[in-house]
């Protein structure tokens, strides 16, 4: 939304959906740039051009704002829904598409950076997010589905998450080759293959 | 080595091997605690109880000291040497054994933390280390060995490295369950299985 110089931007007065979107976008950028712990609601308010109070009205805490800014369980549920046999394809495709769109501003990347550099809150938040993802995966991968080892299901889901975090780190954070400059389609193929083995082996 | 109060510790005068070991141990702790960029040779000298000049005599730069402190290519060569068919078992076993021994002070963990939190030097160093590991893996996994896809070899090695980094992150840094409290033997089994698929699928 373009702002007219000299006039308060319209969304500030009568566009709650516009506010919400502006706050979420500002939050994604701020978390990505400064990490979870060092980002304040005040930073985000300034970036979004709204008041601190308005943020509080939309999101009750920094943690809630963060969770809202992360591509959430609703996206994951959409990706995960469907035939379990082709789940690895959908996860690989969804992951690559999301990261290729905007890895630098991805809140999960921010959280990975923050948790790695010893921010305890970030690590806890990451754990919480992983646990809620596990619940979504479990809804499709029921332990009694054929060909899936019940006991190990949580472990397999955790290894899948670890694999995606490792690839995120190599390709989008440290940018090591050959992963960093691999075409997205090739990466999707490799991930599909590996995730399939991790889940169904 | 015990130090006698009031006397300079013996190793300082006539134990170059003792110096070297003390410097390396101090370096591992310092890098692990403070990350790569924020650690100075002066910190390390103080911890090791030696002079800055002595460190320079043993290691010409911080980068070289870091590389010497990392479980290096010699360890990796020892692990990798042998039948390619059982390489995944050896890598999984070597990795778990090393991390279980002292993940908190492992220089690779330090580098992973530092690179994640946006230290460019650390990211470059990580890239350099990965490249030298790739050379070691390639020495065993020749592209024309049966059952191994030549073109993809570097990609597979990179995915293997990413998987190990992701697991390191989950189990030893963010400590997410169920990986964090899995018995080492179980983790070794899972890694062996996954690494086998990543390399040989």
Average pLDDT over residues B118-144: 73
Q: What is the pLDDT of residue A118?
A: 60
* CB pair distance less than 8 Å for A174 and B118: no
How many whole angstroms separate alpha carbon A195 and alpha carbon A159?
A: 9
Burial environment of residue B43 by CB neighbours within 10 A (0 to 12, 13 to 18, 19 or more): middle
Give the DSSP per-residue string, chain A.
----TTS--THHHH-HHHHHHHHHHHHHHHHHHHHHHH--HHHHHHHHTS-HHHHHHH-SSHHHHHHHHS--HHHHHHHH-S-GGGHHHHHHHHHHHHHHHHSTT-HHHHHHHHHHTT-HHHHHHHHHHHHHHHHHHHHHS-TTSTT--STTHHHHHHHHHHHHHHHHIIIIIS--TTTTTS-HHHHHHHHHHHHHHHHH-
On whether any CB of chain A is under 8 Å from the CB of B162, the answer is yes
Q: What is the pLDDT of residue B136?
A: 80
* CB pair distance less than 8 Å for A169 and B169: yes
Q: What is the pLDDT of residue B11?
A: 47
Q: Which of A61-65, B102-106, B130-134, B148-152 has the highest mean pLDDT?
A: A61-65
Q: What is the pLDDT of residue A2?
A: 46
Question: Across all residues in chain B, what is the average pLDDT?
Answer: 79
Provide the ipTM.
Answer: 0.71
How many whole angstroms separate alpha carbon B183 and alpha carbon A84?
A: 29
Distance of residue A39 Cα from the nearest chain B Cα, in angstroms:
14
Q: What is the pLDDT of residue A1?
A: 45
The label of the residue with tokens 């589905």 reads: A145
SS3 B30: helix
Q: What is the pLDDT of residue B145?
A: 52
Q: What is the pLDDT of residue B7?
A: 45
How many whole angstroms separate alpha carbon B53 and alpha carbon B59?
A: 10
What domains are there in chain A, each with its CATH number? 11-61 (1.10.10.60), 70-200 (1.10.357.10)
How many whole angstroms separate alpha carbon A33 and alpha carbon A125?
A: 17
Q: How far is CA B139 from CA A137, B98, B134, B145, in A?
A: 39, 22, 9, 11
* CB pair distance less than 8 Å for B116 and A118: no
Residue B90 neighbours by CB under 8 Å, 6+ apart:
B79, B80, B82
Cβ pairs A/B, distance under 8 A: 132
Q: What is the pLDDT of residue B195?
A: 92
Is residue B99 pLDDT above 80, yes or no?
Answer: yes
Q: Which of residues 101-140 of A touch B (CB under 8 A)?
A: 112-118, 123, 126-127, 130
Nearest by CB: B127 against A127, A159, A174: A174
pLDDT band at B143 (very low <50, low <70, confident <90, very high): low
* CB pair distance less than 8 Å for B162 and A179: yes
Omega before residue B178 within 30° of 0, cis: yes
Nearest by CB: A158 against B170, B193, B198: B170
Angle at alpha carbon of residue B77, lines to B73 and B79, rounded to 5°: 115
Q: Which residue has the higher pLDDT, A150 or B159?
A: B159
Residue B20 neighbours by CB under 8 Å, 6+ apart:
B58
Mark the ranges of chain A whose per-residue pLDDT is less than 70: 1-14, 71-74, 115-120, 122, 142-151
Q: What is the pLDDT of residue B68?
A: 81
Distance of residue A31 Cα from the nearest chain B Cα, in angstroms:
12
Mutate to test the interface with B, among A165, A167, A171 (most CBs of B within 10 A): A165
**CA closest to A164 among chain B residues:** B166
How many whole angstroms separate alpha carbon B144 and alpha carbon B140?
A: 11
Per-residue pLDDT tens for B31-73? Answer: 877 777 788 999 999 999 999 998 988 888 888 888 788 766 6
Q: By the 8 A CB rule, do A79 and A164 touch?
A: no
């Amino acid at each position: 939304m373009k702002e007219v110089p000299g006039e308060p931007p319209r969304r500030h007065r009568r566009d709650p959906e516009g506010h919400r979107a502006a706050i979420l976008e500002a939050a994604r950028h701020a978390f990505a740039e400064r990490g979870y712990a060092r980002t304040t609601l005040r930073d985000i308010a300034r970036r979004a051009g709204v008041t601190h109070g308005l943020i509080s009205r939309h999101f009750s805490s920094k943690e809630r704002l963060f969770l809202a800014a992360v591509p959430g369980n609703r996206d994951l549920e959409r990706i995960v829904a469907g035939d379990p046999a082709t789940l690895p394809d959908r996860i690989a495709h969804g992951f690559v598409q999301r990261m290729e769109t905007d890895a630098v501003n991805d809140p999960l990347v921010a959280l990975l950076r923050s948790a790695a550099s010893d921010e305890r809150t970030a690590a806890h938040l990451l754990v919480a997010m992983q646990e809620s993802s596990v619940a979504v995966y479990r809804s499709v991968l029921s332990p009694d589905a054929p060909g899936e080892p019940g006991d190990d299901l949580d472990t397999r889901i955790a290894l899948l998450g670890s694999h995606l975090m490792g690839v995120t780190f190599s390709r989008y954070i440290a940018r090591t080759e050959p992963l960093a400059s691999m075409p997205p389609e090739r990466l999707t193929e490799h991930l599909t293959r590996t995730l399939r083995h991790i889940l169904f082996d």
